[in-house]
Amino acid sequence: METARVKTPLGFATIIGDENGISSITVSDGGLIPTLIPKALQEAVTQLNEYFDGKRTDFTLELNPEGTEFQQKVWSALLEIPYGKTRTYLDQSKVLGDVKAIRAVASANGKNPLWIVVPCHRVIGSDGSLTGYAGGLWRKKWLLEHENPTKQQSLF
């Protein structure tokens, strides 16, 4: 596995992967020094930069996260949430076919190893609240606003 660290508007992203795909993208507040980007991770860095620059709304990376069969199913369902849209944890449970699995779905969302690329930040509470985000709620808020900025209405 190879590792790259890059600066983003939300902190330092650490990307781990190889020729079989990206297995992890995490974010931290700092203290990390950006690294040279290994060839296997260059496309991931490019696509993340395009996302933050507002030039990319979906990712076309080969993904290779480790997780249980249930976690993989939950993460695949997250990929179906369109850019700029949100879904509640209950809706996510319904998509997966079991409304009683809401807590298990929320737990699997929290273990998502692919920050931003697998958009768990697009899942919100039933009351519209920003709940449960491993990267910090301020990052979740930032990402949702980035994907769906409020347009100023014309005064005239």
Tokens of 107: 């737990």
φ, ψ at 24 (rounded to 5°): -160, 140
DSSP three-state, residue 91: helix
Distance between CA atoms of residues 4 and 42, nearest Å = 9
CB 45, CB 15: distance < 8 Å: yes
Rg of the chain's alpha carbons, rounded to an integer?
Answer: 16
Choosing from 108, 120, 124, 144, which is the catalytic residue? 120
What is d(CA 48, CA 12) in angstroms, rounded to the nearest whole number?
A: 12
108 is catalytic: no
Active site positions, annotated: 120
